[in-house]
A = this chain, B = another copy of it.
């Protein structure tokens, strides 16, 4: 059985020129497979993605795939690592969000980055959120990535509206839900997110999630008038 070397630490560089050229070729192949994997996953989703599709797009043989990845899930994991790194950078890059106009600009800029990451990795992110792959380690990778972003959001919201820690957590979750889903919809429909749209989103987010509470009147009890969801 050819031992899959996927995701292993790089082997020591061989001395011969021939060996080095092979190595380079191998890297190119692996790269082709990763890119092919991303595009196939994007098109079909994890379950409907076939190894067959990946190798066809990458223009390599079936056997070659298993030279670089232990299995389908392993390819997915490799992509997920790439994605998690970018997500961590994203989390680290969110600075203080001022309740005033500058805060809106800070948000605007950060949101632009967020959407850019999504554009590349929407499938991965989708799969994380929906837990489609039955792999503990992979799920943890995703949780951690999202956890970092959530934490950053909680901090910034808490800074902007001090004294409502628990509420801040809920808001952070809702905010992440919104922008993540919104990004997905934009990507999946092939839409272009222009400057004006980014402005609007930034405004909504800024005012909805970061603004201080106004004085509220007495709220009457909420009563649902509809009954849904048959047993």
Residues of A at the B interface (CB closer than 8 Å) are: 1-2, 35, 45-48, 50, 52, 82, 86, 89-90, 93, 100-101, 104-105, 108-109, 112-113, 116-117, 119-121, 126, 129-132, 167, 170-171, 173-175, 177-178, 180-182, 184-185, 188, 195, 197-205, 207-209, 211, 213-214, 216-220, 222-231
Contacts and interface: CB of A to CB of B under 8 A. Distances in A.
Nearest to A193: B170
Contact of A217 (B101, B109, B130, B207): B101
A132 B45 contact: yes
Contacts of A227: 116
How many copies of this chain does the complex contain?
4
Contacts of A180: 181
14 contacts: A2-B52, A90-B226, A104-B216, A105-B220, A108-B222, A109-B225, A112-B224, A113-B228, A116-B224, A173-B185, A174-B178, A178-B181, A181-B181, A207-B214
Contacts of A204: 171, 174, 208-209
A198 B219 CA distance: 12
Nearest to A35: B231
A207 B99 CA distance: 14
A191 to B, nearest CB: 9
Contacts of A93: 225-226
A42 B50 CA distance: 23
